[in-house]
Amino acid sequence: MNSQNPVIQLENASLERGGRHLWRGLDLSVKPGEFIAILGPNGAGKTSLLKVLLGLLPLSSGIASVSGQPPRRGNQRIGYIPQLKRFDDSLPVRGIDLVELGLNGYRFGIHNHRKATAQVAKAVTAVGAKSYATQPIGRLSGGEQQRLRIAQALVGQPDILLCDEPLLSLDLASQNSITARLDRYRQRNEAAILFVTHEVNPILPYVDRILYVANGRWVIDSPDRVLQSDTLTGLYGTPVEVLRVHGRVLIVGTEDEALTTAGAHHAHEKDIGDEH
């Protein structure tokens, strides 16, 4: 990591929703080019953390900053990939129209149409969506829609990528391809990535640090130090075992262990909605 100023900073940050602390006393400093995975069980506040950085949720206490400024809605320095929610089948908007919103969704006035068209085409090609990008978005599969959402997040060349379960509905080959693409973007643009996921294995080769949140507590460190039985047992307050099988990480003993890092694809639909 270089010595540049952090692009994301949380100091003694706490978030309470519905009378329950999702996490408290969180200190997080993310430098340009850093890849942070955010792990934890359902309801731990992973999606809510991204919403804080997007300016959609205020902290209960503490300080948050994005590129040295308080979080705000419509920050074009951020590219956001939301959890998958299928578009209505009758929606006539084309895939390329969705991607172009990533360029001018918050802009007004006259734009360089030729330049925008080239940027959209480049982003669509990069995620492997060229063959169907001119079709109505509602007619595409969930995986195809998600690729176009990823293109939308990248098209404006943001400094920060906030990714909320971006690999849902993608097969293993597509997960690996998209993850590699995001990592190439990160390296070429020195962009920071915060990546919420239940399936850490596809991104593990690229991750610098893991932020693991559970039971209102948190730990952040290198993958090797966080993904240890002793570390997660202390975080959950109950015995947890971390297994490494054929190069994959499995976590056993949590309330939703099948969802944590074991890659149980049958459980994806359960986690499509926002966390509370």
| Structural domains present in the chain | 1-77+159-276 (3.40.50.300), 87-157 (no CATH)
Looking at the predicted structure, is the pLDDT value of residue 201 above 80?
yes
Q: How far is CA 219 from the centre of its chain?
A: 18
Which has more pLDDT, 102 or 51?
51
Average pLDDT for 85-107: 81
pLDDT band at 3 (very low <50, low <70, confident <90, very high): low
Q: What is the DSSP string of 104-160?
A: HTT--S---HHHHHHHHHHHHHHTT-GGGTTSBGGGS-HHHHHHHHHHHHHHT--SE
Token code pair at residue 68: 């040295």
pTM of the model: 0.86
Average of per-residue pLDDT values in the chain? 86
Looking at the predicted structure, is the pLDDT value of residue 273 above 70?
no
249 DSSP β-pair partners: 244
Terminal Cα-to-Cα distance of the chain (whole angstroms): 33
Q: Looking at residue 163, what DSSP letter applies?
A: E
Average pLDDT for 239-258: 80
Q: Which of 13, 60, 4 is nearest to 34 (CA)?
A: 4
Token code pair at residue 3: 């010595």
CB atoms within 10 A of CB 227: 23
Cα dihedral 262, 23, 82, 253, rounded to 10, equals 10
Instruction: State the Cα–Cα distance between residues 256 and 41, nearest whole angstrom.
Output: 7
**What integer pLDDT is reported at residue 246 of this predicted model?**
85
Q: Is the distance from CB of 100 to CB of 49 less than 8 angstroms?
A: no
| Residue owning tokens 């309470």 | 16
Quote the percentage of the chain above a pLDDT of 70: 87
Looking at the predicted structure, is the pLDDT value of residue 35 above 60?
yes
Q: Out of 3-17, 87-101, 111-125, 137-151, pick the least confident.
A: 111-125
